Amino acid sequence: MKITVLGTRGSMAVSGTKYQEFGGGTSCYLIETDENAIYLDAGSGIMNSPTIEKKTISIFLTHPHLDHILGFPFFPMLGEKDRNIYLYSKGRNGLSSKEQVDYVFSGPAWPVQMENYPSNLIYKDLNEKDGVTLSDAKITWIEGNHPSGSLIFKIEIDGATLVYATDYEHSKESDQRLIIFAKDCDLLIYDGQYTLEEYPQKRGYGHSTKEHGIEIMNACGCKKLLFTHHDPFHSDGMLKLQETKLQGKCENIRFARAGEIIVI
Ligand SMILES: [Zn+2]
Ligand SMILES: [Zn+2]
């Protein structure tokens, strides 16, 4: 499975010299197979997507918070006439996937309706309990723990398994669900937004710590752990320092860097 990290930042996009190594664009990961280009979230990182030829394009939204949908109007393939783009999202607050996108990108807050772009946008509501199969890829999900809800996705391709658990705040009940869902996965991408020192002031905001991610990794037996949703106030220097410290205690962990390609 080929995974391209397009956006690693959480909550708000950032730019400047302090954000060169880990990136400033918000949540987006691209998974490619021979037949599919599957995007997890459409944060501002999606603007850096490579051009996709002759593959089915599907975007799976964990939830429609701004940092996960911000880049959608700038998705390069939206400008291609006759291109089908499938957007999958779960109904939230009584809004279908189309209504969630239109709620954000319509007047007076936004100048162009999504349906006015040249490509064909096809919205899919994630109501199926059995998941979605896209030829060579299977996608399943569970509900995480986040204000207004956020899905945790599992993608299975050719015997490799990726679990994407961003915008997830640990709790006894949700951890049990996640540990079962992510059991023995090859890669767990986990929301490690806060430091242990920051977390008590941020409790209830819907994000976790890296230390808790390591506990989840050990409990579910996943092979590699990648931290994502970097806090917008955490500079390269701070993240690098934290990463080195945690790698000293636990092998097979890494902080996501925009632009890197991971093969599992
Ligand atoms: Zn987020
Ligand atoms: Zn969120």
Residue 129, pLDDT > 80, answer no
Q: What are the tens digits of pLDDT across the range 141-195?
A: 999 999 999 999 999 999 999 999 999 999 999 999 999 999 999 999 999 999 9
| Residues in Cβ contact with 186 at an 8 Å cutoff, skipping those fewer than 6 apart | 1, 160, 161, 162, 222, 223, 224, 264
- Tell me, in angstroms, the distance from the centre of ligand 2 to residue 193's CA: 11
Ligand 2 centroid, distance to 107 Cα (angstroms): 23
pLDDT tens, position by position, 193-207? 999 999 999 999 999
Place of tokens 């939230």: 92
Q: How many CB atoms lie within 10 A of CB 186?
A: 15
The closest alpha carbon to 144, from 203, 206, 200, 66, belongs to 206
The pTM of the whole model exceeds 0.85: yes
* Dist CA 189 CA 70 (whole Å): 20
In the reported structure, the alpha carbon of residue 146 is separated from the centroid of ligand 1 by a whole-number distance in angstroms of 9
Residues 197, 238: Cα–Cα separation, whole Å: 14
Hey, what domains does the chain have and what are their CATH numbers?
A: 2-263 (3.60.15.10)
Residue 128 clears pLDDT 90, i.e. is over it: no
Q: Is the pLDDT of residue 133 over 80?
A: yes
Give percent of the chain with pLDDT exceeding 70: 100
Q: Phi and psi for 39 in degrees, rounded to 5?
A: -100, 135
Q: Tell me the C-alpha distance between 142 and 217, whole Å.
A: 17
Report d(CA 108, CA 89) in Å as an integer: 24
Residue 100 confidence class, pLDDT cut points 50, 70, 90: very high
Token duo for residue 89: 């999202």
Q: CA-to-CA distance for 87 and 76, rounded, in angstroms?
A: 15
Give per-residue pLDDT as tens, 2-60.
999 999 999 999 999 999 999 999 999 999 999 999 999 999 999 999 999 988 999 99
Distance 54 CA to ligand 1 centre (A): 30
Q: Taking a C-beta distance cutoff of 8 angstroms, is the pair 134, 155 a contact?
A: no
68 alpha carbon to ligand 1 midpoint, in Å? 6
As residues whose CB is below 5 A from the ion ligand 1, the structure lists 10, 67, 167
Residue range 117-124: average pLDDT?
A: 96
At 52-93, the pLDDT tens digits run: 998 899 999 999 999 999 999 999 999 999 999 999 999 999
Sign of the CA dihedral running 70, 114, 63, 65: positive
